[in-house]
Amino acid sequence: MVGLISAVRKGSLAEAAGIKAGEKLCSVCGAQVKDIIELSFYTSDYEVDLEIEAANGERRQVHIEKYPDEDLGLEFDSAVFDRVATCYNNCVFCFVDQMIPGMRPGLYVRDDDFRLSFLYGNFITLTNMKDEDFDRIIRTHLTPLYVSVHATDPAVRCEMMHNRFAGQLMERLERLFAAGIQVHTQIVCCPGYNDGEILAKSFHDLYSNYPNVLTMAVVPVGITKHREHLPQLATFTKEQAAALIDQVTPWQERCRKETGGTFIYLGDEFYLLAERELPPAEWYDGFPQLENGIGLTRNFLLEWEEALKEMHGFKGAAPVVIPVGESAYRVLSPLLEKLNKKYGTQHRFVAVPNSFFGGKVNVTGLLTGGDILEHVQGETIALPEVVLNSDKLFLDDMSLAEFKKRYAGKVELAKGAKELLHLLLER
């Protein structure tokens, strides 16, 4: 149980102590630490003793004097030093089960680790946790957590997750609530399973626990073409998406009237599929579940509008093409039509079909390098950064470097609307 040091920040206490990237942290003050959460606890003192293992395997003791809140300056290849807790459910909608075989191992990891939930907002089910895990959450007050609910009805949750303990959700949540732990929640909505009356029950059960339950997100099930030997699942039709919006909107209005916040949010895909207007920005309450895809489109539109206001004196740049998922294309295209008309430019969005995953997968974040190359070539391209992971890899394992070699034109990256606009306009 060691932590692999990936970087040592320049000018930090760790650098001054001679610690280098590539070395390993073995213990802190004589104790083995499981993750960066424990590391923070054990290093919150005036003096810290670290056991460091060099690249050649030799170990040494490093003594550091510091202020209690002073950071050591160490970065690790993983936030968890022991084994990441994995999911033993067999959910009918699991996206990992729908991955094409033969990809990098990380794409098949079904993590269900409360530490990653606290640190990065990963959703956990609470079904793969021991009493000692709950005790640690409560003892160290790890809040908020992010919980995959799917259904508060015990029988339905058990059926969807194929886990006989999944029905204990509310009891486990109440244990956390009693200790002051708050949660953000999500429901992967599957027609015929947890929509309709079941969704209504989930809403009322969760909302009755506000503000212990901070938010509730409802996202549509994602279906790829790789579902051999998996349960039959239907995706939402345009009519079903519209009906869900009509069902949830009165709940949102009630929540806003009673609490000042929307509480329950729908994934962008519902509005795009139903061809309904997205809620206004204020209905997203600061976008607390943006990483879960809630409000991504509205947030982009908001950033675009705000960035344009600041770009006085800019002129049009050479043509740029931006690949996007088919679901977002209809909403985003008018932005460029208006921009092109004003500045005399020829920028365009390109709706890229997702051949890699197939099925009904049509969001930008799941586009692959291969699919983009197939539909765009030769022009300056602005890649939405969301198509790459932290290692600059597409979901089909193509690296950004390889993409640039295979792409005939210039390749740029854009993290959001502001960065994109600075590629489309110039001084």
In this prediction, residue 262 carries a pLDDT of 98
In this prediction, residue 224 carries a pLDDT of 86
Q: What is the pLDDT of residues 277-311, one digit of tens each?
A: 999 999 999 999 998 989 999 999 999 999 999 99
Q: Is the peptide bond before 211 cis (omega within 30 degrees of 0)?
A: yes
Q: Taking 80 as the threshold, does the pLDDT of residue 229 lie above it? A: no
215 Rama sector, left if φ>0, alpha if ψ -120 to 50, beta otherwise: beta
Q: DSSP for 19-65, please give it.
A: --TT-EEEEETTB---BHHHHHHHT-SSEEEEEEE-TTS-EEEEEEE
In this prediction, residue 22 carries a pLDDT of 96
Tell me how far apart the alpha carbons of residues 391 and 250 are, in angstroms, rounded to a whole number: 42
In this prediction, residue 378 carries a pLDDT of 87
Range of the domain at 58: 3-76
Q: Do 52 and 134 reside in the same domain of the chain?
A: no
Q: Do 62 and 191 reside in the same domain of the chain?
A: no
Pairing of strands 145-148, 183-189: parallel
In this prediction, residue 47 carries a pLDDT of 95
Q: Do 352 and 282 reside in the same domain of the chain?
A: no
Average confidence (pLDDT) over 383-394 = 92
In-domain check, residue 225: yes
Q: Do 172 and 319 reside in the same domain of the chain?
A: no
Q: What is the pLDDT of residues 112-121, one digit of tens each?
A: 999 999 999 9
In this prediction, residue 390 carries a pLDDT of 83
Q: Do 289 and 304 reside in the same domain of the chain?
A: no
Q: Do 314 and 275 reside in the same domain of the chain?
A: no
- The domain that holds 26 is classified in CATH as 2.30.42.10
The pair of three-digit structure tokens given for residue 277, joined into one six-digit string: 């207007």
Q: Using the 3D structure, point to which of 273, 293, 313 is the last residue of a domain.
A: 293
* Residue 234 DSSP code: P
Average confidence (pLDDT) over 225-231 = 79
Q: What is the pLDDT of residues 315-364, one digit of tens each?
A: 999 999 999 999 889 999 999 999 999 999 999 999 999 999 887 888 99
Q: Do 282 and 208 reside in the same domain of the chain?
A: yes
Q: What is the pLDDT of residues 259-281, one digit of tens each?
A: 999 999 999 999 999 999 999 99
In this prediction, residue 253 carries a pLDDT of 98
Q: Using the 3D structure, point to which of 46, 76, 106 is the last residue of a domain.
A: 76
In-domain check, residue 19: yes
pLDDT band with cut points at 50, 70 and 90 for residue 101? confident
Q: Taking 90 as the threshold, does the pLDDT of residue 76 lie above it? A: yes
Q: 255 and 262 in contact (C-beta within 8 Å)? A: yes
Q: Do 145 and 248 reside in the same domain of the chain?
A: yes
Q: Do 345 and 375 reside in the same domain of the chain?
A: yes
Q: How many beta carbons lie within 10 A of that of residue 6, not counting itself? A: 12
Q: Do 280 and 369 reside in the same domain of the chain?
A: no
Q: Taking 80 as the threshold, does the pLDDT of residue 158 lie above it? A: yes
In-domain check, residue 83: no
In this prediction, residue 230 carries a pLDDT of 79
Q: Taking 80 as the threshold, does the pLDDT of residue 100 lie above it? A: no
In this prediction, residue 14 carries a pLDDT of 97
In-domain check, residue 46: yes
Q: Do 264 and 309 reside in the same domain of the chain?
A: no
Q: Do 285 and 387 reside in the same domain of the chain?
A: no
Q: How many domains does the chain have?
A: 3
SS3 content of the chain, % helix, strand, coil (to 5): 40, 20, 45
In-domain check, residue 348: yes
pLDDT band with cut points at 50, 70 and 90 for residue 99? confident
